[in-house]
Structure 1
């Protein structure tokens, strides 16, 4: 007997898929629950049956990427600083390419996410990722370079329609590794 996905689950997935597309194309603030319902072929009441408002829809859209980020941070945090940085670079690039559709939504929401408690965990993981990418030193300049690198990577992933996933991954990997390399100390520096 073939298993089928229950109607409720299919409806929920369709709502999330349509919300993702609308948030990505129109922006979160310009998308209403009615827009999502219309695109998903259901009523606004159906959307509200599945989600407790538009913020909950956004949280569900961002959920898989947040889970992946949490796993990355946990795995890298268990390693020595140098290894953690290298793993964080590799995996963050992979995640950014995989979830590049979500990046549009994130960039649109970055300034207001701190006001929404649903995203406290995502923000905390982003801060921890920045520290890992900075080499775990706590050095202010290294943290600022890591923030700069993250913003550049996110910007490139946001506007990368002309690049394949492989090309984008190569570019981002190379850029992060060049920007985030540990400083080389020379004998002159030591004096």
Structure 2
């Protein structure tokens, strides 16, 4: 068997890991399994990635970049604009990064080892604060948490729904939950 060029092998390792992490989970996947499926030795895999966590972090980098871009471009006021911005961008983020979110399932206890896991809760807390800022009530906080949980569940449970349809449904749901006119929310592309 001929060996692929180094860059091609690195890409193959990442592609294989993505499928395996999303399918059987990060914990259920070993470096040996990834190497075997990528058609390389474990040593060749370790040349490119020192740990399984390093592979996961590379896979999650586009998600992190998009989150940081959203955070940097978020409006500070007025609050209604901030709520619309948060709903539109949260929906766009989870729809675009469904596979990354699938890979993160069940890793909540690994916040110290996997940076994005720890930061994920910070992002959820920020979103919650934005959507409750103009009406900080228990009902509004519950709605914020239900919206985030619903975003994640819909993206993981409805893989057969195309991105545009799912984004639209999530925005209509967000509009109902936060007393917004659905026509005032638009689908954004990240």
1:8-66 Cα distance to aligned partner (Å, 9 max, x none): 33222221111111011101110011111122222222222222211111111111011
* Structure-1 residue corresponding to 2:136: 139
Task: List gaps (5 residues or longer) in structure 1.
Answer: 1-5, 183-191
Shift of 1:79: 4.3
Task: List gaps (5 residues or longer) in structure 2.
Answer: 181-190
User: Do 2:75 and 2:81's aligned partners in 1 also have CA atoms closer than 8 Å?
Assistant: no
Inter-partner Cα distance in structure 2 for 1:115 and 1:18? 25
RMSD (Å), alpha carbons: 2.3
User: Do 1:100 and 1:157's aligned partners in 2 also have CA atoms closer than 8 Å?
Assistant: yes
User: Do 1:73 and 1:88's aligned partners in 2 also have CA atoms closer than 8 Å?
Assistant: no
Inter-partner Cα distance in structure 1 for 2:24 and 2:166? 24
Match of 2:102 among 104, 107, 110: 104
Q: State yes or no: 1:49 paired with 2:72.
A: no
Match of 1:180 among 175, 178, 181: 178
Inter-partner Cα distance in structure 1 for 2:60 and 2:33? 19
TM-score, normalising length: structure 2 = 0.80
Inter-partner Cα distance in structure 2 for 1:72 and 1:104? 21
4+ runs of 1 displaced by more than 6 Å? none
* Structure-2 residue corresponding to 1:9: 7
Match of 1:155 among 143, 153, 156: 153
Match of 1:33 among 22, 31, 34: 31
Q: How many residues align?
A: 175
